[in-house]
Amino acid sequence: MRTREELGAGACILALVGIILWTGLAHAWTSAQPGYVWSFPRDHWARDGYKTEWWYFTGHLGTGGEPAPRFGFQFTFFRVGVSRDAPDGGSAWAANNIIMGHAALTDLETGRHRFSELVVRAAPLLAGFGRHPDPRIAWSVGPPGTPDKWQLSWNGKGFDFIMADAGKSFSFSLSTRPLKPLVYQGPGGVSRKGEGATEASHYYSFTRMATSGTVRLDGKEWEVSGTSWMDKEFGSNQLGQDTEGWDWFSLQFDDGREVMLYLLRNRDGGTRYAGATLVETGGAVRYLQPGEWKLNATGQWTSPASGAPYPAGWILDIPDAAIRAVIAPRVADQENRSALIPNLFYWEGSVRIESGSGARIGHGYVELTGYGENSRPPI
């Protein structure tokens, strides 16, 4: 017999999924279609009319000029559209978007991973999205118990973002500057997620950005610098009904190349759709066809907290690009477990990349969603 908590948790996750699905069906949200005319820097800001949108930053940071990274981090703002109608002006709580914020910091030295999150309505009191040319792209009150805000802003060349979580005792404030040009993930910036008409998103990345700032952890503060990867994606109903989750990779090679690849999985665990992009050292982009690359999982790690069995270790082959990469998590437990939304958990972590002979050839971030019971991601 299920406990009350389990039932409540189920109801919550269903409700969140439901909010997104229901609102998607009820209103004519704009889906990602070819022919979108990009305009920068304006498109760094929120695009109303699309149901979901996110700004995703992952990276590695070293301290004291050391080449080896000390921290891995993730910083994400999600916008979830609830209604296309403009909010009713009668109340300061009126909102037509929900903001979710996820941030994680992995201390690669100690192997400790921390995750922070927030879910608030995008009402002027609590959170919101700026409009170009206001430098603020998105902002929110911090997680409960944290007086400081989370914010993402455009600094003219790159992005600045700050987060803090007093309860989890960590914060970071980072500034980025692209080292390579912006990359569209998919022709025209349309990234297909399936064969359905709406199964696509508008997607671009900054695959290598110089990053610096400060990190605070358990009362200690570090000046940090390193590189990061930024994804911006927006669309509506981009995932097919039978999509259970995805594996997503952002890999930065030491020779200056980058690879982004993703595999969308069916409920039976098979690959439903996949895509990959290779960015050459000079910034040239090549969209890899399915036969041009191969990714095999080589290990598994089961989360003791969620019970979800995740792949942990892969071999990536891109023969045409002479890439054979052995990918392995730097820390096994980099699972982000939501305390706000029951049954929301996913693995998002720093990975090292080695050659077949064991030499370091790069590093990156991997995201694994939809593993474990009832864990279909709400996006």
Site string for another protein, 36-75 (x = CB under 8 A): ----------------------------------------
Nearest-approach distance from CB 33 to another protein, in angstroms: 23
Residue of 17, 179, 315, 328 that binds another protein (CB under 8 A): 17
- Report 325-344 residues binding another protein (CB under 8 A): 340-341
Residue 258's closest CA among 297, 199, 205?
205
Provide the β-strand partners of residue 44. Answer: none
Provide the β-strand partners of residue 279. Answer: 258, 285
∠ CA 99-105-109, rounded to 5°: 175
Provide the β-strand partners of residue 209. Answer: 178, 228
∠ CA 138-120-170, rounded to 5°: 75
Binding range to another protein, per CB under 8 A, among 115-123, 170-178, 287-295, 322-330: 115-123
Determine, following the binding rule CB under 8 A, whether residue 216 of this chain makes contact with another protein.
Answer: no
Determine, following the binding rule CB under 8 A, whether residue 83 of this chain makes contact with another protein.
Answer: yes
Site string for another protein, 129-148 (x = CB under 8 A): ------------xx-xxxxx
Task: Name the residue type at position 299.
Answer: G
Nearest-approach distance from CB 78 to another protein, in angstroms: 13
Q: Is residue 64 a contact partner of residue 8, using CB atoms and an 8 Å limit?
A: no
Task: Name the residue type at position 105.
Answer: L
DSSP at 87: P
Nearest-approach distance from CB 82 to another protein, in angstroms: 5
Phi then psi dihedrals of residue 44, to 5 deg: -70, -20
DSSP at 239: S
Nearest-approach distance from CB 126 to another protein, in angstroms: 6
Determine, following the binding rule CB under 8 A, whether residue 16 of this chain makes contact with another protein.
Answer: yes
DSSP at 31: P
- Report 153-172 residues binding another protein (CB under 8 A): 166-167
Residues that bind another protein (CB under 8 A): 4-5, 7-12, 14-23, 26-27, 82-83, 85, 87-88, 90-96, 98, 119-121, 123, 125-126, 141-142, 144-148, 166-167, 340-341
